[in-house]
Every structure is written in C-alpha cells, then in structure tokens.
Amino acid sequence: MDHKCIDKILEKYGHQESSIIAILQDLQEEENYLPENDLAYISENLPIPLTRIYRIATFYNAFNLTPRGKYPVSVCMGTACHVRGAPMVFDRVRLELGIDIGGVTEDGLFSLETVNCLGACALGPIVVIGKEYHGNMTPAKVESTIKKYRKRIAKEK
Ligand code: FES
C-alpha cells in the first residue's frame, strides 16, 4: 500500500500506540492481508518495535500475513462438514479456481484456505466466499456459485 494511505490510517488513530490493533484491522481491510513492508513502515512511524507488531499480527487469527484474494474462499473441513462431503467440495473449489491452499488466482480475486469449523455444522458442507456463507454445498453448486461471483465482479468493473 502506498505510504500516503498508511499515513491516513495512522492519522485516523492519532498515531496512538494503543490503537495498533485497529490500525492493523484497517490495513487488512484495504489489502486483504498485512504486507511485510507496510508493517515495517508502521513500526517506523509509531513507537512500536516491528517484533511486537508481528507478535500481535500472529496472535490474532483475524490477521493474515500472506496475500489473499479480494474474495478469500474458505472451505470448512471440520468433522461435520467432512462427513457430508467437504473433501469433494474442496476438490471442486480447487479445480474451479486453479489454485491450492494458500494460493491466489492470477487476477487477485480469489484465494483458497480451509477452516476446521465455522460453528454452523447443520448447514455443512460450508464454503465462505468473502464474507458470505454458502451452506449445503455440493461440487455442482461450487461451480455455479463461483460463476455467479465472477459475473457479479465483472459487472462491478
Ligand atoms: S464442521 Fe463445518 S461448520 Fe462445523
């Protein structure tokens, strides 16, 4: 992210060390993850050592240190989803997106990850795309759902 944008975030929180979590949340909202050089810039401009920023960033599951797509795709592989066919759903997602776990599509729109339980087991298998939950997924539904997202994204451009 360009430094002017990071400066805006830092100004929003008055360059307060105590706002580091909110600052990291805003950065992640913009970038979908916490880029290494942005964390270094924040450390240079706040009285917080980079090692402490990393400690915070790795402590909270909500933060990601590796690149993610604009729409991160999470496939639940928890037990309830697993017995209802999550592995086949996962394989289809991988095929549709052409990436593996941790990967990002070339257009930067999608990334792929798995989770162990989203707390909505009765709706399994579940796939989360961006912030939207898709329950009772099947391999066929994966294909149509991702197509819908691609169409929606194309319209937004
Ligand atoms: S196991 Fe998938 S939501 Fe609980």
CATH number at residue 76: 3.40.30.10
Domain C-terminal end among 59, 81, 105: 59
Sheet architecture: strand order including 127-129: 110-115, 71-76, 127-129, 132-134
Range of the domain at 55: 3-59
pTM recorded for the entire structure: 0.79
Q: Tell me, what's the pLDDT at 2?
A: 84
SS3 of residue 35 by DSSP: coil
Beta strands 71-76 and 110-115 are parallel
- Testing ligand 1's pocket by substitution, the residue of 84, 90, 118, 134 carrying the most ligand atoms inside 8 A of its CB is 118
Instruction: Look at residue 157 in the predicted model and tell me its pLDDT.
Output: 73
Which atom of ligand 1 is the closest one to the Cα of 120? 3
Residues 6+ apart with CB under 8 A from 118: 74, 76, 78, 126, 128, 133
Give yes or no for residue 121 CB within 6 A of ligand 1: yes
Largest Cα–Cα separation, the chain: 52
Which residues of the chain, if any, have pLDDT below 50? Answer: none
Pair 140, 78 in one domain: yes
